[in-house]
Amino acid sequence: MRIVQTRRISQVFFFSLFAWFCIVSTVGDKLWQLRGWPVNWFLQLDPLVAIGTILTTHSLYWPLLWALVVVSLTIIFGRFFCSWVCPFGSIHHFVGFLGNRKKKAAQKVQLNKYRKAQCVKYLVLIVFLFMAAFPSVGATLQTGLLDPIPLVTRSFNLVLLPIADRSVNVTSVAGRFYESAWLIYAMFLTAVLLNLVIPRFYCRFICPLGALFGVIDRFALWRIGKNQNECVNCRLCEKSCEGGCEPAGNIRISECVLCFNCLDDCKHELISYQTRPSLAGEETDTDISRRGFVLSLASGILAVPVVRLSNKLGSNWYHRVIRPPGALAEEQFLQRCIKCGQCMRVCPTNVIQPGGIDGGLENLWTPVLNNRIGSSGCQLNCVACGQVCPTSALRPIKLSEKLGIGEFAKIGPIKLGTAFLDRPRCLPWAMDRPCIVCEENCPVSPKAIYTQECFNTVRDGILTVKKATNETIETVEDNLPLDKFATGDYYCVIEEGDERTKIVGNTANSIEISPSRQLEEIPAAGSKIQVQVRLQRPHIDIEKCIGCGVCEHECPVSGKKAVRVSAEGETRSTDRTLLLKG
């Protein structure tokens, strides 16, 4: 078998594996559900994730040790990951092939020539790494914005899969929704369509992971090169060169993605995969200028303090950035989150959403709870998000820790925030309407939402008695709304009395009292009675509230909810507490 065939099989295999892992990231024990599938494997293989988190946290979280395998193999074989494993690379490879397959050989050679701008990806890498490298000025992990593995993971999981699943409902019963997924899509689509301009545009010019491999590649034991210097110079070897690395001449090792097309295209078998340097000469250095290096280094170091001038980590923190359970304190969280979207994908209720920039630029695409989307706030008996987080930005907590039971009973449950009642919008508080859906759905025991009973006289509810028995009261007023007081929530109070009697029905001019609770005293003609509505008004016990957002999700005031969770009181940060501990 030709080596390019082997490469294609490898690409199809790893791409399918990646797609499969996206599909099975649904909580459940069926074969097509999460069970034990290693759905984070591609993210763990990604050395940029490992190096980024090492820079920000000075530690290597154990599952990321997989990256060592990739780095070692790169040192031995060269940049194999890009053309053999990377699912995003395979998409570019295929789209680039489709878009340019009808072009003439000479045009292809022109398309696949080396361009000076290919050094931009190294600058991108430098900016990201230096944003992560200096905790003293603020370190943040932003590689995930352009790192191809998190990028393709979130594009598949948050955009393509929900749309594909609409008709088949394999990954969820109701459709999945993701706030501003269009932006993720726009980035994905742009990256893919750029292949029509230049094949593997993203890989050649932007990809910071490719840049990292390019740097490592100088140590590679095996590399592509000419096995003799004499050559007719037909340049057919550059016709399908995926990396744009000039195999015909002075091959640029750091750009070579090991597609092996040159080896396959050379009719004279002058090119081979070998340990010795190319006989036509090779270039192992990346093509970045000193000026480019210094500028990107400086902008990387400066970027974090500049972004943090908004003080989003200080007093200006955004109350709607409600993190999933197990999230680290905000600064540590931002040092680990790679914006891969795995937590958003796995969340059974769909409440975890890609964050926007309201919470600061660094917040973009990090997990934020939006109780208005999904099937029911943060589910009490669920810790799925932390289990799939590849970097432990969300710690893999146990249920006992989330609920504050067993060994965690002393610490108490994890609070994501606190629910606040908006009384002017609340039906029982502002509109004298019974409701308490929030209380009903509060999953905490004892409930964090409790009610206090009160009786309010309804509008035009003071009536004059015309005639009364112990079961019905006829009134002088003859315009009572028909059966309005029959709901079981309305009561009748005789003037000056404090006894309330439940109303079971009414006509336009009479009120019927429940026969089992007859009036103690029959009101005299001409006396006044009051019609009152019984209200249970919700109150929130902030010591009990865990900020799960089920109340907000269920609140029937559907526009701006009458009860809303805000991140105050979240356990993960001590500087946002609400209550004095007494």
Partner 1 sequence: MNEQIDKELDRRQFLTRAGKAGIAIAATGAVSYLFYDATGPQPRSKTEELVTLPDFSVPQTAGQTMSIVKGYDRVKTVDKAMELLGGIERFVKPGETVAIKPNVAFASPPMLGATTRPELVAEVVRLCYSRGRAKQVYVTDNPINDPASCFRLSGIGKAASRTGAKVILPKDNLFGHTTLTGGKLIRNWPIFFEPFKKVHKLIGIAPIKHHHRSGASMTMKNWYGLLGGRRNIFHQDINTIICELAMMVKPTLVILDGTQVMMTNGPTGGSISDLRRADTLIASCDMVAADSYGCSLLDLKVADLPYLTKADRAGAGTTNYESLKPILATVS
- Answer yes or no: are the C-beta atoms of 245 and 255 closer than 8 Å: yes
504 binds partner 1 (CB under 8 A): yes
- Cα–Cα distance for residue pair 128/434, rounded to 1 Å: 54
- Phi/psi region, residue 112 (left: phi>0; alpha: psi -120 to 50; beta: rest), is alpha
Q: Least distance (Å) from partner 1 to the CB of residue 63? A: 26
Q: Least distance (Å) from partner 1 to the CB of residue 435? A: 5
- Answer yes or no: are the C-beta atoms of 370 and 323 closer than 8 Å: no
Name which of 241 and 427 has its Cβ closer to partner 1.
427
Using CA atoms, how far residue 227 sits from 172, 247, 271, 272, in Å, is 55, 11, 6, 6
- What is the CB neighbour count within 10 angstroms for residue 382? 17
- Determine the straight-line distance between the first and last CA of the chain, rounded to whole angstroms: 74
Q: Which one among 332, 514, 527, 577 touches partner 1, defined by CB under 8 A?
A: 514
CA quadruple 455, 458, 462, 463: dihedral positive or negative? negative
**In the beta sheet, which residues pair with residue 225?**
272
Site residue total, partner 1 (CB under 8 A): 48
- What is the CB neighbour count within 10 angstroms for residue 47? 22
Stretch that binds partner 1, among 90-98, 141-149, 486-494, 567-575 (CB under 8 A): 486-494
Q: Least distance (Å) from partner 1 to the CB of residue 558? A: 6
Q: x/- contact string, 420-459, with partner 1 (CB under 8 A)? A: -------x-----xxxxx-xxxxxxxxx---x--------
Both tokens of 522, joined, read 């029959």
Tell the residue number behind the tokens 């030709």, with chain if given.
2
Name which of 28 and 314 has its Cβ closer to partner 1.
28
Stretch that binds partner 1, among 61-69, 138-146, 166-174, 256-264 (CB under 8 A): 166-174
DSSP class of residue 205? I
Q: Least distance (Å) from partner 1 to the CB of residue 437? A: 5
Q: Which one among 136, 275, 516, 574 touches partner 1, defined by CB under 8 A?
A: 516
Q: Least distance (Å) from partner 1 to the CB of residue 291? A: 54
172 binds partner 1 (CB under 8 A): yes
Name which of 34 and 493 has its Cβ closer to partner 1.
34
- Cα–Cα distance for residue pair 234/222, rounded to 1 Å: 25
472 binds partner 1 (CB under 8 A): no
Helix and strand tally (H, E) in the chain? Answer: 22, 14
479 binds partner 1 (CB under 8 A): no
Site for partner 1 in 371-390 (CB under 8 A): 374-376, 379-382
Strands 449-468 and 472-475: antiparallel
27 binds partner 1 (CB under 8 A): yes
Name which of 72 and 518 has its Cβ closer to partner 1.
518
What are the strands, taking DSSP E only, across 147-241?
223-226
Q: x/- contact string, 340-359, with partner 1 (CB under 8 A)? A: --------xxx---------
Name which of 173 and 309 has its Cβ closer to partner 1.
173
Name which of 264 and 471 has its Cβ closer to partner 1.
471
Both tokens of 322, joined, read 């409600």
- Cα–Cα distance for residue pair 150/61, rounded to 1 Å: 17
Contacts with partner 1 by CB under 8 A lie at 27-28, 169, 172-175, 348-350, 374-376, 379-382, 427, 433-437, 439-447, 451, 486-489, 502, 504, 514, 516-517, 536, 550, 554-556, 558
